[in-house]
Amino acid sequence: MTQASLRIVVIGGGAAGHMAAISAKTQRPDAEVLLLEKSDKWLAKVRISGGGRCNVTHHCAEPRKLARHYPRGGSFVRKVFAVWGQPEVVAWFAEQGVVLKIEPDGRMFPITDDSRTVIDALQRAVRSLGVEARMQSPVSRIEQKGGVWSLSVPEGTINADRVVVATGGSPKDEGMAWLQKFGHEVVPAVPSLFTFNLPGDPIRELMGVVAANVRLRVAGTKLESTGPLLITHWGLSGPAVLRLSAFGARVLHDLRYEYIVLVDWLGELGEKAARELLHVEANAHPRRQIVNAECFTLPARLWSYLLLRAGLPLEKPLGELGRKGMDRLLDVLTNDRYQARGKTTFKEEFVTAGGLALHQVDPATMESRVAPGLHFAGEVLDIDGITGGFNFQAAWSTGWLAGKGAAGR
């Protein structure tokens, strides 16, 4: 086989697939690179990410620290990021004219605040490099014979010397059968990054209220998370919930999404310190109505709700709170309990936990250890991150190394 005869097919027209095709053609300009997408839309998840702004990556650049944001696949992506990580992603997009900005929480977006900017850059790169791109070309079957891969698509059969599989997370179960045929192990997919449903719970009337720093736990497990919490019309959301759902994806799946959520509305303040703050304010302002207490920085609507939940009249003077009243209030503030039943997908960054077992993939080239010539990128792998740009970072990095590996460079 001469260099000019090399044919690389990338299956999947999402973030990882585009980056793999771009990388392969960049490394091997004389190779024939074909990008296949089963639907009639390119980069669908890129389009909706970050409310249509596209959360390209996160400002965390050091591979070891960056890898901590991945509930599954952290040690694997650390090796990937050490070769082509966050700095390389930021630099590559800058070369395409996409300047990224850092938001206070560390997320990075194009300065245009428009995902179209990212999509246009990727598709310009595909066109300018000479990658052939086809939509509505689902691959139903793949076989290998005599060192050549044969892919079954609606229009017939496509032959390839190397194949990059970047089919994403949604079709994991249905699209894994032919990979298993070649000896690959598949970790069953379960949802990640979802919000907690609290059907019928009155707290939902506080829809839109944000508590800046809470501590969440799931009763009977070791799961714990801290951060902002958003109350919605269906239950609980926000970074603390999404992080908990990501790291607890398999545990919560095994519980069939029915469990008790324990909420410490005061974050890491602690019951002892909270009691002391209440005592100090009650002694200083005994006639102040408890609804007007200033010792905690909770939103007013939430504070009123929690007081009533503790059985305390809003107009009750702080000086008349008493030991029992204070105990009830502190129990609600630091150990509030809610029954979760069901989940709602976080649509801006739909992610599944599970996929191709990582011990069968070489992180340097993303090549299969059991079926040489097959490379993998993105969510088809058993890698998933929390919300904040981490899943796209994994897609860009694994895509680049998969394309480079397929090109043999």
How many C-beta neighbours within 10 Å does residue 280 have? 11
Residues 49 and 179 in one domain: yes
Predicted confidence (pLDDT) at residue 9 exceeds the cutoff of 80: yes
Considering only CA atoms, give the Rg of the chain.
25
The structure tokens listed for 37 are: 């997408």
Domain-terminating residue out of 292, 316, 345: 345
Residues 252 and 166 in one domain: no
State the pLDDT at residue 170: 54
* Pairing mode of beta strands 156-160, 7-11: unpaired
Q: In the chain, how many domains are there?
A: 2
User: In this predicted model, what pLDDT tens digit does every residue of 200-224 receive, in sequence order?
Assistant: 999 999 999 999 999 999 999 999 9
User: In this predicted model, what pLDDT tens digit does every residue of 152-190 receive, in sequence order?
Assistant: 999 999 999 999 999 986 544 556 777 888 999 999 989
State the pLDDT at residue 146: 86
Residues 282 and 362 in one domain: no
Residues 201 and 331 in one domain: yes
Question: Mean pLDDT, the chain, as a whole number?
Answer: 95
The structure tokens listed for 90 are: 């930021």
C-alpha pair distances (Å), 156 with each of 5, 127, 140, 150: 20, 24, 11, 10
Residues 116 and 154 in one domain: yes
Residues 164 and 27 in one domain: yes
Residues 216 and 336 in one domain: yes
State what percent of residues in the chain have pLDDT above 70.
Answer: 96
Give 4's pLDDT tier (boundaries 50, 70, 90).
very low
Identify which of 221, 213, 291 has the alpha carbon closest to the alpha carbon of residue 250: 221
Domain-terminating residue out of 330, 345, 360: 345
Give 379's pLDDT tier (boundaries 50, 70, 90).
very high
Residues 233 and 169 in one domain: no
Spatial distance between the Cα atoms of 195 and 242, rounded to a whole number of angstroms: 6
User: In this predicted model, what pLDDT tens digit does every residue of 226-277 receive, in sequence order?
Assistant: 999 999 999 999 999 999 999 999 999 999 999 999 999 999 999 999 999 9
Residues 31 and 164 in one domain: yes
Residues 320 and 360 in one domain: no
Strand residue runs (E) in 219-296: 224-231, 235-237, 258-264
Residues 224 and 186 in one domain: no
Q: Lowest mean pLDDT of 185-194, 323-332, 369-378, 388-397, name the range.
A: 185-194
Average pLDDT over residues 368-376: 97
Give 5's pLDDT tier (boundaries 50, 70, 90).
confident
Predicted confidence (pLDDT) at residue 63 exceeds the cutoff of 70: yes
CATH number of the CATH domain containing 253: 1.10.8
> Residue 289 region, left (φ>0) first, then alpha (ψ -120 to 50), else beta?
beta
CATH number of the CATH domain containing 179: 3.50.50.60
| Structural domain of 136 | 3-190+348-406
3-class secondary structure, 261: strand
Residues 30 and 156 in one domain: yes
* CA neighbours closer than 13 Å in the CB half-sphere of residue 32: 9
Whole-structure pTM value? 0.90
Domain-terminating residue out of 325, 345, 365: 345
The structure tokens listed for 255 are: 């519980």
State the pLDDT at residue 366: 99
* Residue 156 burial by Cβ neighbours in a 10 Å radius (0-12, 13-18, 19+): exposed
SS3 content of the chain, % helix, strand, coil (to 5): 40, 25, 35
